[in-house]
Amino acid sequence: MEKRYNDSQVKAIGHFNGPCLTLAGPGSGKTAVITERTKNLITKYHVDPSNILVITFTKAAALEMKTRFLSLMGNGSYPVTFGTFHAVYFSILKHAYNYNANNIVREEQKYALMRELVQKHRLEYEDETEFVSSILGEISMVKNTGVSIEHYYSTNCAENIFRRIYGEYHEYLHQHKLIDFDDMLVYTYELFRERKDILSAWQRKFQYILIDEFQDINKIQFDIVKMLAAPEDNLFVVGDDDQSIYRFRGARPELMLHFKDDYPEAEQILLDTNYRSQKEIVEASLRLIGCNKERFQKKIVANQEAGEPVEYAVFKSQREEIAKIIWDIQTHMDRGGKYEDFAILFRTNTQPQMLMEKLLEYNIPFRMKDNVPNLYEHWIAKDIIAYMKIAMGSRYRKDFLKIMNRPKRYISRDSLDEETVAFDVWEWFYEDKPWVAERIQRLEYDIKMLSTMSPYAAINYIRRGIGYDEFCVEYADYRRMNVDDLYEVLEELQNSAKGFDTYQDWFEHIEHYTAELEKIYKQQNQNPESVALATLHSSKGLEYDNVYIIDVNEGIMPYKKAVLDNEVEEERRMFYVGMTRAKKKLHLYSIEQLKHKNTDISRFIRESQKK
C-alpha cells in the first residue's frame, strides 16, 4: 500500500476508531482513500462488512464507489451499504413505517399538484414550469434548513400565500400517504428523536460511517448522522471546504469548518497532492482560493511537473472570444487531437447561447452537462416574435393575446372573440371607452412602424418606443425578481438578431437552431467525441485536458447577486472548482463589452495571477 499511496493517503486509509476529518483537495484521490479504507476496516480490523455505511451525494457516485470497492476485494460478496442520504434514510423509514416505492411522490405528481395550487391561488406568472419549480425549490429549502415556515421569506410570492401553498402541499401528501425526498430526512430525524429504541438498533447496525463530499451536507442530514454515529462516533468524513458550492440547495460548508467543535478529539488529515492538474494550474487556483477567509488553510502540491502557463486573455466582445475558442479547437483537430479534450465552462446556463449557435455553424459537435434553455422559447422571446409576426401581417388572435397588455393597455380578452383581429372592429368594441380605443390606435401605429424595421431595430423599438421595458419593471416587482434578469433575455435576443435584415431571415435562423438543439438533446451523452459545455456548478467532479472559462467579468463571476461576504466566497469557490477541472491547459477569458456596455474584468483574474 505504501508504494501506491502517499503518506497522507496511507494515514487516512489506516484510520480505525473515532471521528476523522479528511480534507481532500481536487484530484487528491479521495475515492481511492474511501474504498481502500473500507477494505482496510474489513481485512485488517475485521469489521463486519454489514456494519459499514458509505454515504455519497449522488446515485452515480454510490455506484462508482461500490464498483471500485468490490474490484479491490476481488469481486466477492460483501454487504457494505453504499447509498445516498435519501436512499439510506428511506430504507430506515421502510423498516419503521412499512413504506415502499409507491409512497414516494413522483416528480410529475408533485408538479401537477403544485400547478393546481398555484392556479387555485390565482398567482400570475409567465412561465408556469419555471414558477412551479421555484415554489417547489423553496419548499425543499424550508425542509432542508429546518427553518420555521413562519420565519421564511418567499422570493416568489407573498408570505401568506406561500405559507398556505406549503400547508396545502404538505396536507395533500399526508392524506395520500406520500412523502417527497425532503420528507425522508425530516421523518428520519423525527423518528430518531422520538424512538430511541429504533435509533439504538440502527446505531448497532452502522458502527462505521464514511461520508463523501462532506462539504455539501446540510443541517438536517448532519443532525441525523450525529445521532446515528453515537455513541462510538466512528465517523470518517471526506470533503473539500473549498469546493462547497451548493448553499442555494441548503448545503452548509460551516458544518465542515466546525466539525472539531462537534468532535474535539477528531483526527484531521490533509490529502495534499493534486494528481490531476499541472503545476501552474494548481498554483493559480491556490492563489485565488487563498483570498477566502472562511476556510481551512492548506498547502497543496502538484504531482505533475510544470507545463504550459495559464492563458489569460481579454477580448473586445463575446464574438471575438468565441472565434478564438473555435480557432483553437479546429487547430487542435487539424493536429490529430480530439473534441473531447475540450470543455467550455460558464457561470449561468443562459450564457452560452451565442457560443452554441457558433459551434453549430462551424459543425463542431458538443454535449451539454446541463439542459441549457433555448432562448427562443423564453416567454419574452415569444412576446417579441408575436409583435414581429403582427408587423409582418399576421392577424391571428393568439398573437394579439400575447402582446395586447404588454405594456398595460387595459384591453380585455373578451374584445377578441374572433380567430382573426381587425383593428377597426377592435376600436369599435371600445367606443364607450375612448381612452382604450386610443391605445389600440397607438398599437396600430406601432405595428406599422415595426413593419419597416430590421429585427434588431424592432426589438429596440418594442423595448423603448412601445414600452416593453416598463412592463418588465412591473412584472419583476410583482414576482419579486431582479428586472435585470428580464433585460438580459432582451439583450440576448438583440444580440442574436444583429446581422439579419428581415424578420423572415431571423425566424429561419431560430427554426434551424431549435431543430439542431433538439437533436443534441436527444443524442445527449451518446456522442462522447464532442466538446463539453457545462456550468461551473455541474462541472464539479469532472476533468478535461483543456478548460476554457468564458466571460470572467464582474457581474458574472462573481455573479451580480452575490453581495454579502459569504456569497462572494461561494462564487470564488465556484471559480476554483472550474479552474481545477483542467489537467493540461487552463484558459481564463474576459471581455471588454457585454451587450453593448463596458464591463470590468473579474477580480478573480487578478487574484489568481502571480503578484
3-class DSSP state of 323: helix
The strand pairing partners of 270, in sequence order, are: 23
Measure CA 100 to chain center: 30
18 annotated ligand-binding residue:
no
Give the cell for residue 417: 372573440
578 annotated ligand-binding residue:
no
Count of CB atoms situated within 10 Å of the CB of 445? 10
Give the cell for residue 574: 465556484
Report residue 23: phi and psi, to 5°. Answer: -85, 120
30 annotated ligand-binding residue:
yes
User: In terms of DSSP bridges, do strands 366-368 and 531-535 run parallel, antiparallel, or are they unpaired?
Assistant: parallel
Q: How many CA atoms lie within 13 A of 533 on its CB side?
A: 25
188 annotated ligand-binding residue:
no
Distances in Å between the Cα of 365 and the Cα atoms of 277, 368, 532 are: 25, 10, 9
Integer Cα distance of 259 and 226 in angstroms: 11
3-class DSSP state of 67: helix
Beta carbons of 93 and 184 less than 8 angstroms apart = yes
137 annotated ligand-binding residue:
no
DSSP code per residue over 412-472 = -GGG--SSB--HHHHHHHTTT-HHHHHHHHHHHHHHHHHTTS-HHHHHHIIIIII-HHHHH
Maximum pairwise Cα distance, the chain: 91
393 annotated ligand-binding residue:
no
83 annotated ligand-binding residue:
no
For the packed helices 468-479 and 379-391, what is the interaxial angle rounded to 10 degrees? Answer: 160
Count of CB atoms situated within 10 Å of the CB of 480? 12
Give the cell for residue 91: 430504507
Let me know if 542 is exposed, middle or buried by CB neighbors in 10 A (0-12, 13-18, 19+).
middle
541 annotated ligand-binding residue:
no
Per the annotation, where are the binding residues for ATP?
24-31
Residues placed in the known binding site? 24-31
